[in-house]
Structure 1
Amino acid sequence: MQGFPYAPPGLKIGLLGGSFDPPHEGHVLITRRALRRFGLDAVWWLVSPGNPLKADPPAALERRMAAANALVRHPRVLVTDVETRLGTRFTAETVARLRLIYPGVNFVWLMGADNLAGFHRWDRWQTIMDTVPVGVLSRPGEQLRAALSPAARLYAQARLPARAGRQLPVAKAPAWCLMTGPMVERSSTEIRATGAWLR
């Protein structure tokens, strides 16, 4: 489709969705780790129009896209406004549409462990788990809470061990894997609180 990234069948692509308000080095770290630990060909940053779980609207999409492009400089990382182009609001919709547009592409939904802890509050979260493999990357202080989350407990049998992480992109959903490693003690919320990123 015109205006959409090119991705031939067989590629292994990680999808890192979020408001990126603002993007920061933590996003870059988990992206690089996902490329390596899950054996991905590319990671797409899906800069969302807004987060349905947050009351306050984010900064302008153009500003967040520009900041993300300035921050992440990697040949296999693409910053995209594909959700705006698709007109989707929820992850389940986005994943379903991308799988239709890109048949044969092995998508992996990427998230921080903090997101897994609250994943059960997402719209149609079980549909996401049943549709696409999920790669979870550790964030400060969230590993235990994530491992004990409702999503982790319900899908305990679908969890791959970390040593099998490179099998995740071709695993049949439901399948998920939690990776631990170096972490950045920073978040978009904290950056906004300092006044360094004004809306």
Structure 2
Amino acid sequence: MADSNAITGLRLPRGARVGLLGGSFDPAHEGHVHITREALKRFGLDRVVWLVSPGNPLKPRGPAPLEDRLAEARALVDDPRVTISDAEARLGTRYTSQTLARLCGRHSEVRFVWLMGADNLRQLHRWDNWRAIMDRVPVGVLARPGDRMSAQTSVAARVYARARLPQAASHLLPLMAAPAWCFLNVPMMAVSSTEIRAGGGGGAKR
């Protein structure tokens, strides 16, 4: 375990229920905090790790420097249950499927749940080795503005329809064997990293 802590930079207790929220966080904002709090409560998680990505392969424009984004995120979050992490940079991974494989290998006693907004479920089939994500850990999906219906009829939702957990049983998700996923309708906060960079607000996308 000591080697795992050193390599990933994460100290995760054995048996902990840990949500993983990945993204560029360029910049981190209250929308990220909002869905993190909802995930902790509704999925029965012990903690959530923000995996601040060195770069998003699906985005043509590179993000701000990693150290700046990490510092901004840490300044924003005041909750001991939330960890701001550069694990992807430490592990040398750029794709979620790779990151999960490494983290699950290094922290095999932890119950990980991958967290994503409904907008990402809608396009999940475009992600590298996306089925490996669904098959490795339970996935918690949180509704965002404009993506509720399209996400629930997406390629991933259709392929894994039988693995869907009812919203009323969301607290059981960390205990489920993959594939398992749960779609939550949560109170929405219209904040967008894209529009913050442009000087506006709205649209809760990471």
TM over 0.5, shorter chain: yes
Q: Secondary structure at the match of 1:56?
A: coil
> Counterpart in 1 of 2:27?
22
Q: Separation in 2 of the partners of 1:187 and 1:145?
A: 19
Residues 34-66 of structure 1, C-alpha deviation per residue, up to 9 Å, x if partnerless? 000000000000000000001110000011001
Letter in 2 for 1:71: L
Contact 1:8 1:102 survives alignment (8 Å)? no
Contact 1:15 1:43 survives alignment (8 Å)? yes
Residues 155-177 of structure 1, C-alpha deviation per residue, up to 9 Å, x if partnerless? 01000001111110010100000
> Counterpart in 1 of 2:155?
150
Q: Please state if 1:86 is matched with 2:87.
A: no
Using the size of structure 1 for normalisation, the TM-score is 0.96
> Counterpart in 2 of 1:44?
49
Matches of residues 98-113 of structure 1 in structure 2 within 5 Å? Answer: 98-113=103-118
Q: Separation in 2 of the partners of 1:100 and 1:50?
A: 23
Runs ≥4 residues deviating over 4 A:
none
Q: Secondary structure at the match of 1:34?
A: helix
Q: Between Structure 1 and Structure 2, how many residues are aligned?
A: 196
Q: Separation in 1 of the partners of 2:123 and 2:51?
A: 19
Q: Separation in 2 of the partners of 1:180 and 1:24?
A: 20
Q: Separation in 2 of the partners of 1:65 and 1:78?
A: 10
Q: Separation in 2 of the partners of 1:70 and 1:122?
A: 30
| 1:195 to partner: Cα distance | 7.5
Q: Secondary structure at the match of 1:45?
A: strand
Using the size of structure 2 for normalisation, the TM-score is 0.93
> Counterpart in 2 of 1:170?
175
- Unpaired runs of 5+ residues, structure 1, are none
